[in-house]
């Protein structure tokens, strides 16, 4: 039976259930097990739940080593930007060993990190840097949007024999939704259609899915039916679902909180341009963050990032219809 849980609680529930199911699962990070009252510490003890030094290089390096011995570590990194100081471990070590050993060893670890810390977190904590991990062979990338998917994708990530970057958007942390009880797995590489429509396809990631759904509701009032797709994982990417939608609508808007050149949207645009070009009735539109560091100032932050109004405007431009014209046609 599903019941309502916060997004962050759903992630923790997945980790708790997987630790109960498999004693090889470890959980550690700089903000874990700091007191004896830590729930994970009380349930699983200090051998499996540990606080680490303030060194991402150390904690991710330890995770790679633990995974090579057959354990399944989950590392709480708090912010995705903190991974940047340990990129050798993330990009050049963890994803390579399984291939380089001919499959004789595997590296089953999960790097859990928040991203998109807006609302005044300024330049070094607001990045949406998941795009830079998409092109690393052997590394999987998950971006859950709903609490149910947060639980299901985390469980799947822990069971995967490859390293997984599990990125969760900060502004989704306290969002509530129905979450299945007990074991719940969401398969990698299977997108979700969050809203059906026949006029335009909108593919959005993370927090932008909610922004796109709000834009779709505004457009529906104007007679435009948008189909909203949430990839859920970027690697592997479910291009089949996206291409099928584009074949139906003939138009594509990609919404991504990352800057244009560093976005997952750019990769998806390339896939559609190559494999679905004949279905397109208009050029692909990309609604991304402006090419600027996100400012501390809220008005400047809002100016840089996508929002429902910008998404809706992109759809209208793609369809060649102005809001005023739509209102006039509906009233006549």
Q: What is the spatial distance between Cα 150 and Cα 11, in angstroms, rounded to a whole number?
A: 6
User: Length of the chain in residues, anyone?
Assistant: 332
* Separation of alpha carbons 64 and 163, rounded Å: 9
202, 306 Cβ separation under 8 angstroms: no
Q: What is the Cα–Cα distance from 5 to 7, expressed in whole angstroms? A: 6
- Note whether 134 and 264 are within 8 A (CB): yes
User: What is the torsional sign of CA 243, 246, 251, 256?
Assistant: negative
H runs (alpha helix) in 175-279? 207-220, 239-249, 264-275
Provide the 8-state DSSP code for 236.
S
DSSP code per residue over 115-152: E---SS--TTT----GGGGTTSTT-EEE---SHHHHHH
Q: Terminal CA-to-CA distance of the chain, rounded, Å? A: 48
- Which candidate in 125, 168, 169, 184 is catalytic? 125
176 assigned to active site: no
140-142 and 233-235: which strand pairing?
A: antiparallel
> What span, in angstroms and rounded, lies between the C-alpha atoms of 261 and 199?
27
Active-site residue list: 125
């Amino acid at each position: 039976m599903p019941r309502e849980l916060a997004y962050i609680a759903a992630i923790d529930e997945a980790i708790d259930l997987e630790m109960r199911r498999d004693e090889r699962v470890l959980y550690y990070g700089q903000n874990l097990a700091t007191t004896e009252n830590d729930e994970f510490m009380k349930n699983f003890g200090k051998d499996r739940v540990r606080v680490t030094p303030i060194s991402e290089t150390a904690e991710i390096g330890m995770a790679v080593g633990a995974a090579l011995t057959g354990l399944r570590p989950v590392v709480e990194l708090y912010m995705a930007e903190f991974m940047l100081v340990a990129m050798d471990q993330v990009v050049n070590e963890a994803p390579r060993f399984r291939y380089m050993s001919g499959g004789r060893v595997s590296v089953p670890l999960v790097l859990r990190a928040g991203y998109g810390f807006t609302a005044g977190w300024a330049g070094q904590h607001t990045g949406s840097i998941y795009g830079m991990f998409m092109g690393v062979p052997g590394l999987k990338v998950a971006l859950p949007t709903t609490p149910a998917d947060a639980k299901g994708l985390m469980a799947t990530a822990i069971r995967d024999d490859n390293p997984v970057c599990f990125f969760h958007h900060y502004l989704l942390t306290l969002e509530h939704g129905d979450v299945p009880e007990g074991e719940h797995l969401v398969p990698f590489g299977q997108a979700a259609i969050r809203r059906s429509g026949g006029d335009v396809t909108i593919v959005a990631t993370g927090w932008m899915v909610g922004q796109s759904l709000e834009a779709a509701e505004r457009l529906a009032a104007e007679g435009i039916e948008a189909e909203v797709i949430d990839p859920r994982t970027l690697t592997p990417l479910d291009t089949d679902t996206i291409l099928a939608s584009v074949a139906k609508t003939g138009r594509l808007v990609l919404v991504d909180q990352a800057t244009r050149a560093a976005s997952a949207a750019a990769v998806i645009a390339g896939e559609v341009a190559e494999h679905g070009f004949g279905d397109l009735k208009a050029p692909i539109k990309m609604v991304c963050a402006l090419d600027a560091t996100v400012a501390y100032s809220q008005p400047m932050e809002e100016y840089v990032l996508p929002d429902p109004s910008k998404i809706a405007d992109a759809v209208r431009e793609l369809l060649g219809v102005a809001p005023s014209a739509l209102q006039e046609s509906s009233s006549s």
